[in-house]
């Protein structure tokens, strides 16, 4: 740390500040300058604009140029049309009729109950952003439709056995391996008997008995044939 005598230091600095160029020398110098009599040496002065300010000017100019370029780019950019989402036609799925099916068996009526499957309907509005769901055919859905067909055939089998057979053919076409195929064949036997096609009904009944290893349809078939001697 400094321990120089402050008074001495101040005296020296004041002496330096008080020093003056003589008036004669000063006037002589100015006259020489105005007369162009001073031979220059190679010395340049500092920049008139301080370095800090000059840097600010340069940075400002660069920023302006950048903004101008961004603005120009925005003006000249070709707008590409946004992709139009495909128009999806509304898909309407009609829910099946009431899923309550009553199947008459030999011991009485057996009530088969199946829940009504929920079917997702496709989005009806065209520009929907979400992908349109296709209706998914589930097992429950198929079972419901099988039941519907068999219920229709059952209502027809007594009074309109031909129509019942046609309905059963539709069932066979739509569900060749349906879960209710056995029930459909029983109704077919009954319809054929009602039409008087006993031989045809007997062949089908024999085939059913062979296939029914568990003996589920035997009693019912026998009762049907008893009703149509």
Quote the CA–CA distance of 193 and 227 in Å, as a whole number. Answer: 9
Q: Which is nearer to another protein, 17 or 159 (CB)?
A: 17
Distant-in-sequence, close-in-space partners of 218: CB < 8 Å, separation ≥ 6: 209, 212
Residue 111, φ and ψ in degrees, nearest 5? -95, 120
Least distance to another protein from the beta carbon of 32, Å? 6
* Separation between Cα atoms, residue 23 and residue 34, nearest integer Å: 17
Interface residues toward another protein, by CB under 8 A = 2-5, 8-9, 11-26, 28-30, 32-34, 36, 38, 40-46, 48-52
Nearer to another protein, 43 or 136 (CB): 43
Minimal distance in Å, beta carbon 76 to another protein?
30
CA distance 191 to 185: 10
- Cβ distance to another protein smaller for residue 35 or 89: 35
H helical segments located in the chain: 6-18, 23-35, 51-76, 139-157, 161-174, 181-195, 198-211, 218-227
Shortest Cβ 28–another protein spacing (Å) = 8
Nearer to another protein, 29 or 90 (CB): 29
Distance of closest approach, residue 68 Cβ to another protein, in angstroms: 19
Minimum distance, C-beta of residue 52 to another protein, in the bound complex (Å): 7
- Tally of CB atoms within 10 A around 82: 6
Minimum CB separation of residue 65 from another protein in Å reads 17
Nearer to another protein, 39 or 111 (CB): 39
Please tell me the distance from the alpha carbon of residue 174 to that of residue 101, in angstroms, as a whole number: 19
Q: Which of 45, 53, 46, 179 is nearest to 114 (CA)?
A: 179
Which is closer to another protein, CB of 31 or CB of 106? 31
């Amino acid at each position: 740390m400094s321990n120089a005598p402050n008074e001495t230091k101040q005296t020296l600095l004041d002496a330096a500040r008080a020093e003056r160029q003589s008036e004669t020398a000063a006037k002589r110098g100015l006259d020489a300058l105005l007369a162009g009599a001073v031979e220059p040496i190679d010395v340049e002065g500092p920049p008139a604009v301080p370095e800090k300010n000059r840097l600010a000017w340069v940075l400002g100019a660069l920023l302006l140029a950048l903004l101008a370029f961004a603005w120009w780019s925005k003006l000249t950019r070709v707008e590409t049309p946004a992709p139009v989402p495909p128009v999806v036609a509304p898909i309407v799925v009609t829910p099946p009729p009431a899923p309550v099916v009553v199947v008459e068996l030999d011991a009485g009526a057996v009530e088969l109950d199946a829940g009504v499957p929920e079917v997702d309907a496709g989005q009806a509005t065209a520009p929907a952003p979400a992908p349109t769901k296709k209706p998914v055919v589930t097992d429950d859905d198929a079972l419901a439709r099988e039941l519907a067909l068999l219920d229709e055939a059952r209502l027809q089998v007594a009074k309109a056995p031909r129509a019942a057979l046609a309905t059963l053919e539709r069932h066979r076409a739509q569900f060749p391996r349906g879960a209710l195929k056995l029930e459909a064949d029983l109704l077919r036997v009954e319809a054929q008997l009602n039409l008087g096609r006993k031989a045809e009904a007997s062949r089908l009944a024999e085939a059913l008995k062979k296939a029914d290893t568990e003996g589920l349809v035997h009693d019912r078939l026998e009762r049907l044939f008893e009703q149509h001697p």
